[in-house]
Amino acid sequence: MRPKQIISLGFTLLAIGGCLGAPSDPEAVTSKTSPLTGGLGNGSVDVDFSNCTEYAGFVPVPLANAAPFVPAGYTVALASPGEANAIVRVAHCASVVIDGQATGAGTVAQLGVNIVPPDGTGDINNYTVWYDTNGLALSQALRRAGIDAAYDPALIYERRPDRDGATARLIIANGLDPAPPFVIDSQVLIPTAATQAIDFTANWWQTNRGATAEMASDFPNILFGAESTGVTIEVVPGTRLEELLGAPRGTFVGLSVSNVIPAGHMHVAPASP
């Protein structure tokens, strides 16, 4: 699919957004059981990723918008008085290995709210409101471990480096089902030869029907891109994602980075917020 077709598809989704329904239970997330993905369990899973790139960014939102999406037991991290950060993280990896079994390439999209570390660990902690992946095996494994991961074969991620070696065009779009549809189409700064690798840990949490699971990821040699300004996300009016952002369009501020992840390991297991 060509970039123009991708963006045309994305804005078609935006135009028909009024037809989408929105669940009222903030803890339910999608809570949709599919014959492909199955119900939620309380097991554990280990996932190894390699040769990945990602975009991660904060959209500042009123605390009153974010609070209904975060269940009791968690504390929303404040960006400033009365303001929280919604977070969007999308990554594509050339290799995804689940409990030792190679499953090929895969893309994931995680959307949620930045929170205070529930257990005092991690460089960043977020509450997972939506998790989409185009990997069927990954969605099934995460659901068995208690994460309401949706299988989204239409999830698109493209990062096309420019000739200068320091910038790229980033195109991200997801499908109409599962919700919520969104589109990112922006220029970003990417790591260069001078970028220093660091060790970074990220914890994503989710509670469903009283049971909590934590996705704890370690990236031992991640390369962070410089802060990219002017990156925006377009969402569908009338959806819960617009309720979180407070508008059909948001701009990433405070954290807006396009990174390279040579390798990462994620352990998913039951936890207590």
Q: What is the DSSP letter of 8?
A: H
Q: What is the DSSP letter of 45?
A: E
Per-residue pLDDT, 38: 81
Burial class (CB in 10 A: 0-12, 13-18, 19+), 153: exposed
For residue 255, CA distances in Å to 79, 192, 252 come to 11, 18, 7
Chain centroid offset of residue 200 CA: 16
The structure's pTM equals 0.90
Burial class (CB in 10 A: 0-12, 13-18, 19+), 57: buried
Fold of 3-12+38-261: Acetoacetate decarboxylase-like (2.40.400)
Nearest to 20 by CA among 145, 164, 226, 174: 174
Nearest to 191 by CA among 218, 168, 220, 158: 168
Instruction: Report pLDDT digits (tens) over 4-49.
Output: 444 444 444 444 343 333 333 333 344 456 777 789 999 999 999 9
Instruction: Report pLDDT digits (tens) over 123-181.
Output: 999 999 999 999 999 999 999 999 999 999 999 999 999 999 999 999 999 987 777 89
Average pLDDT rounded to a whole number, residues 206-229: 97
